Amino acid sequence: MNCIEIKNLTKKYKDVKAVDNLSFEVKEGEILGLLGPNGSGKSTTINCILSLLNYEKGEIKIFNTLMSPTAYEVKKQIGVVFQDVAVFDNLTVYENIDYFCGLYINSKEKRKEYIKDALDLVELNEFTNYYPKQLSGGLLRRLNIACGIAHKPKLIFLDEPTVAVDPQSRNSILEGIKKLRDLGSTIVYTTHYMEEVEILCDRIIILDNGKILATGDKDELKKLAKIEEKVTIEIMDLKKSHIKEIEHFPNVENISYENNTLQIVYKKGKNNVVELLEYLNQNKIKYNKIFSERPSLNDVFLYLTGKELRD
């Protein structure tokens, strides 16, 4: 079953198409990673899905219902956690969650139960009487998530939920997101941390210039990029002439040399390290650590878009 269906969505800002005839669906119960460099159309797409923006063309259905600004029954089943923290400074942790949950749940007893579940999920039980200004950045992010999901929505949008948080809070947030999926929620997830995508997402859509460049799970995307191996080697003072020669080796897709580290991405993965070491030894180039690995999603992203995710 599809939780979201988008057909031919187009959104313009004057003469610029922020979203260009976009079509895709989100399956019930999956975590979909919506990725793209800054300006790719991610935020515009999400705001159109939520009916926060008007658009020129297209159709958006959520739970098989046409989405509109007045589709209140559908909106009750949606939770949104934006990148900017949105809580009330004059309310405690508990009071904040109670307020946002109360927008959807009238019953005090049911709300009490839901708030407890939200506190358990984000591990904030020890901080219920704290005010937001007393929380660390990571705890504040967890509160932001709790406020967005306390009413137990079927569909959740998470926009950069782990920005600028400590590793402990990040792990807690990621575990909480997995639990939400396991409890039956469908999640649309945006992030600039590709390792999170590898850990969390069942399927990934890569956007650029308002269009889909690629879609699939992480293994499918790696195959699509046609890159098989990444070799990293520590070399002191490698000459530009040597870099140019290595660049023309068979199978080399791209090469970089920064901070005494040579990194080579290969299109095919046979005997690449042997060939590289033979060249270095023949030219009496000293090297230290060397290791080979499968390309990461960040390598795939760079291959497909030509730019880093953090650009």
Query: pLDDT tens digits for 106-122?
Result: 999 999 999 999 999 99
Predicted local confidence at residue 308, as pLDDT? 62
Report which residue type is found at 66.
L
| 294-304 per-position pLDDT tens digit | 878 888 888 78
Percent of the chain clearing pLDDT 70 (strictly above): 98
Percent of the chain clearing pLDDT 90 (strictly above): 76
pLDDT higher than threshold 90 for residue 192: no
| 46-57 per-position pLDDT tens digit | 999 999 999 999
Query: Going from the N-terminus, what domains does the chain have, and what CATH number goes with each?
Result: 2-222 (3.40.50.300), 226-294 (3.30.70.980)
Write out the H or E segment, with its range, that includes residue 24: strand 16-27
Report which residue type is found at 296.
S
Segments of 259-307 assigned E as strands: 261-266, 287-293
Predicted local confidence at residue 240, as pLDDT? 94
By residue count, the chain amounts to 311
Predicted local confidence at residue 298, as pLDDT? 83
Query: pTM (2 decimals)?
Result: 0.85
Contacts of 311 (CB under 8 A, 6+ apart): 37, 38
**Two structure tokens written together for 138:** 């990571």
d(CA 229, CA 204): 21
d(CA 71, CA 144): 24
Predicted local confidence at residue 193, as pLDDT? 87
Lowest mean pLDDT among 2-11, 110-119, 213-222: 213-222
**Two structure tokens written together for 166:** 């400590």
| 251-276 per-position pLDDT tens digit | 998 899 999 999 998 988 778 999 99
Calculate the alpha carbon distances from 259 to 235, 237, 252, 256 in Å. 9, 9, 21, 10
| 112-155 per-position pLDDT tens digit | 999 999 999 999 999 999 999 999 999 999 999 999 999 999 99
Angle (nearest 5°) at CA 227 between 226 and 228: 120
